[in-house]
Structure 1
Amino acid sequence: MQQATAFVNWFRNSSPYIHAHRNRTFVIFFSGAAVTEPEFDNLIHDFALLKSLGVRLVLVHGIRPQIDERVLQQGDTPKFHHHLRITDALTLQYVKQAAGLVRVEIEALLSMGVSGSPMAGAKIRVASGNFVTAKPLGVLDGIDYCYTGKVRRVDAQAIHQQLDQHNVVLISPIGYSPSGEIFNLSAEEVATEVAIALQAEKLILLTDQACLSPEDNTPIPQLTADQAQALLARAHELPEAVARSLNAAIQSCRQGVERAHLINRHLDGALLLELFTRDGIGTLISSTEFEAIRPATLDDIGGIMELIKPLEQQGILVKRSREKLEMEINDYVVIERDGLIIGCTAFHVMADDRNAEIACLAVHSDYQKGARGNRLLAYLTQNAKKRGIKRLYVRSTQTVHWFVERGFTPCDIQDLPEPMKSAYNYARNSKVLCKPVD
């Protein structure tokens, strides 16, 4: 029974993310090495699950080890300069062979539907095509890269048409020129340019290892694009593959992609844990702060009600109707974490514009050890200073000590300003505290 309860709780907690991800476009990059490993079947199952939940999927795969294998079989040595392959005419033949083979293998796995398997009933249609126009990289540092190219244009309209028909779009790291030439491309670059062209909600980069802090070798949960750029400046301290993915994430976030994720593909289920749990398991990169305090809007009412409901049931907060929240929404401030409301409070200014009441201060139980209550209180205090408020009041039944520890002192009900005095609920018998605004 305990296991069943844990499953139900997990499923319920994942529902906000299921709603948030439906009909959103995700571009997912994975390396050619991932395709060769036995665990790749599990990754395919996770792709199928995302598709069944309404995510619009674009998959971009790499082919580097498959090309290397063919070059070595011919007794030759793969040639690179600055981590980019030099693709001569013979190597280009290996590129085409590798791209075709990997694409067909992925299509076959996405086509599975054996009864009793995770793919049963999936019926996934896969669309591939000449979506990427490329141009030659040319000569750099005196090195002719031959048929190694770079993305010139992505046919976003054609990709959107396929997604609108509920197809999964599969893109190989090759591009075509208007003159009919074929170019070998960086898979990370293709994924980045595709995500930017589609203005995708997410670019997900399945890396060969986690993004770790150079200081203490611990996972980095989140970064802004600027913080990621500072980390990339220390690229010599990062694995090459992580540095490439970090660069792709920065570029995409600075050109319109809402979120980029670096996820260690070797952790089974990491993709699902990153997308459907509160804290995820990878590294999230965003153009703005992942978690921020801001004024509430009408769109936040559902999240606020969900947040304060348990506290109302415990008698910690006064029950508030949706109508009351709608009327007072301009008084509310929320902490938003990746689209979810994890904290809120209200700031009711009195008619005299000299006094204000702090109400409905709540932080989600999973985030109460991160000083978020302090941040909300500091935000309101700063707002009070800007507005010339002289005194802050609060009514509380069970969190009196928390406010006392932050400079509030008890005061008499008769000393309350109107309308707090007339609205005081003697049956609730709340303690009243106040604090001057310094």
Structure 2
Amino acid sequence: MSELTNLREILRYVPRFRDRAFVIAIDGAVVEDDNFPNLLLDIALLRSLSIRVALVHGAAHQIRRYAAQLNVQPSDIDGTGVTDAETLNIAITAANRVTHEILEGLSVHDLRGACPNAIVAHPAGILSGIDRKFTGRVERVDVPLLATLMEHDIIPVIPPIGCDGVGHSYRLNSDAVAVEIAKSLQAVKLIYLSTEDGVKGPEGVIRQMTVEDADAFLKRNQKDLPAQIVTKLVHAVRAGKDGIERVHIIDGRQEKGLLSEVFSNEGVGTLIYTNEYQSIRPAMKKDIRPIFSLIRQGMQTEELMKRPQAEVERNIADYFVFEVDKNPVACVAMHSYPELGKAEMASIYVDNRHENKGIGGKLIAYVETRAREQGFLELFCLSTQAINYFIQKGGFTLGTPDDLPPSRRESYDKSNRRSQVLIKKLQPPA
């Protein structure tokens, strides 16, 4: 992708993110990776675009190292088990070191940061009959403090340690802290930067999952997933159910991974989203250029018949777009022939970056439902290359040019494309 294309991708998202909060949760291992300076550059870019950023960091990687240096076996690593006094001291030392490295890195890039005592924590208590000792849970987030820092262009850097009101400290799970911070700030995104590419399924990294799908996937596969992916999935699902619309899990060691995930539809990791992330809606005038851009891709491969943009503009009321994160990535049109009780599904096309994700099937089902609701008895379409798809996935059957309405038959003959006619009988809605 060219730098100009990158810039266009970024600018398309900026109005939606300006003055909104991103909560970025960074695993301790990522802070020590060679890519960390590049990550700070990405954060500097976010700030330059008036996106407010709060950083939450873990320290499990550093706790393991410090414990090994002291020849101590820590009672807990990630803030979910039992934290004894010795492990708490190691955790505080490790967390302070990571916090300092982040603040030091922010200074290099002329960014101001501060480590506030914004997390009020209480003991996790006795769970399943086991006293968790110095393992804690987030009781409250000091939102005014964080808001004040961010309003003054200061990035809060929040460690996985919390304090109560009487001078006691507790080890916290950083993934859980990130959720509480994101909820408190009404963040538009929660981004987990780990050492994993994302959530992996049988065919590789799963790019997008609804909250419901992520929850079901976790229940089916928890025992086979890496521990850090399990905790991130658990908290991503909780965040989604608590109102955070977008949760990203990406490899923080990947150069430009943060920007690629935030400012592109396809991303580089796993996005877990609430259901409104994807939607089909009637096209508007502002969609004329995006629709024509999609159709042009189909024309170049001869999947779609050549037509000028003016034709799309004249018939814009017939078009529908499939949005991903409010960006059109697919389109379809439904042309009506009410005197014959027929409707045509036309100009169906999915951006090649979003192929094989079921979008085409959703568009077919959407048009079929609309046609049925409007009382049409038959839906037809023309195809030169996707004939089997419409038959196998859409339930169409082979037809002939004689099945077309007279006006459509005329344009069919003039095109000389010799497309296959496919038809589907419709039953009235129940």
CA contact (8 A) 1:207 1:245 kept: no
In 2, the alpha carbon distance for the partners of 1:351 and 1:205 equals 52
Letter in 2 for 1:79: S
The 3-state SS of whatever aligns with 2:197 is coil
Q: Does 1:388 align with 2:375?
A: yes
CA contact (8 A) 1:312 1:318 kept: no
CA contact (8 A) 1:71 1:78 kept: yes
Q: Does 1:278 align with 2:265?
A: yes
The 3-state SS of whatever aligns with 2:255 is coil
In 2, the alpha carbon distance for the partners of 1:59 and 1:174 equals 14
Letter in 2 for 1:207: S
CA contact (8 A) 1:214 1:237 kept: no
Assess, with a 3 A threshold, how the Cα gap between structure 1 residues 63 and 350 changes in structure 2: closer, same or farther. Answer: same
Letter in 1 for 2:75: K
Q: Which residue of 2 aligns with 1:115?
A: none
The 5 Å alignment of 1:173-192 reads 173-192=160-179
The 3-state SS of whatever aligns with 1:380 is helix
Q: Which residue of 2 aligns with 1:193?
A: 180
The 3-state SS of whatever aligns with 1:80 is coil
Assess, with a 3 A threshold, how the Cα gap between structure 1 residues 382 and 104 changes in structure 2: closer, same or farther. Answer: same
In 2, the alpha carbon distance for the partners of 1:108 and 1:416 equals 71
Q: Does 1:220 align with 2:211?
A: no
The 3-state SS of whatever aligns with 1:37 is coil
In 2, the alpha carbon distance for the partners of 1:96 and 1:183 equals 9
Cα deviation, 1:13-51, whole Å, max 9, x if unaligned, reads 444244544333211111222223333222222222222
The 3-state SS of whatever aligns with 1:84 is coil
Q: Which residue of 2 aligns with 1:100?
A: 96
Q: Does 1:302 align with 2:286?
A: yes
CA contact (8 A) 1:220 1:283 kept: yes
Q: Which residue of 1 aligns with 2:8?
A: 12
Q: Which residue of 1 aligns with 2:154?
A: 167
Per-residue deviation, 1:360 = 4.7
1:437 pairs with one of 396, 412, 425: 425
Per-residue deviation, 1:252 = 0.5
CA contact (8 A) 2:294 2:351 kept: no
Per-residue deviation, 1:198 = 2.1
Q: Which residue of 2 aligns with 1:116?
A: none
Q: Which residue of 1 aligns with 2:401?
A: 410
Deviates more, 1:169-178 or 1:367-376: 367-376
CA contact (8 A) 2:23 2:182 kept: yes
Assess, with a 3 A threshold, how the Cα gap between structure 1 residues 137 and 310 changes in structure 2: closer, same or farther. Answer: closer
Deviates more, 1:366-375 or 1:242-251: 366-375
In 2, the alpha carbon distance for the partners of 1:376 and 1:171 equals 44
Per-residue deviation, 1:434 = 8.3
Per-residue deviation, 1:157 = 3.8
Assess, with a 3 A threshold, how the Cα gap between structure 1 residues 318 and 92 changes in structure 2: closer, same or farther. Answer: same
Q: Which residue of 2 aligns with 1:55?
A: 51
Q: Which residue of 1 aligns with 2:21?
A: 25
Number of residue equivalences: 411
The 3-state SS of whatever aligns with 1:130 is coil
Assess, with a 3 A threshold, how the Cα gap between structure 1 residues 434 and 97 changes in structure 2: closer, same or farther. Answer: closer
The 3-state SS of whatever aligns with 1:266 is coil
Cα deviation, 1:332-372, whole Å, max 9, x if unaligned, reads 42211232101122335456593445455443354466674
The 5 Å alignment of 1:135-284 reads 135-213=122-200, 215=202, 218-233=204-219, 234-284=221-271
Q: Unpaired segments of 5 or more residues in structure 2?
A: 300-304
Per-residue deviation, 1:187 = 0.7
Q: Unpaired segments of 5 or more residues in structure 1?
A: 113-118
Deviates more, 1:13-22 or 1:154-163: 13-22
Percent same amino acid at aligned positions? Answer: 30
Cα deviation, 1:240-276, whole Å, max 9, x if unaligned, reads 1111111111111111011111112233332222223
CA contact (8 A) 1:224 1:289 kept: no
Letter in 1 for 2:249: L
Please give the TM-score of this superposition, normalised by the length of structure 1: 0.79
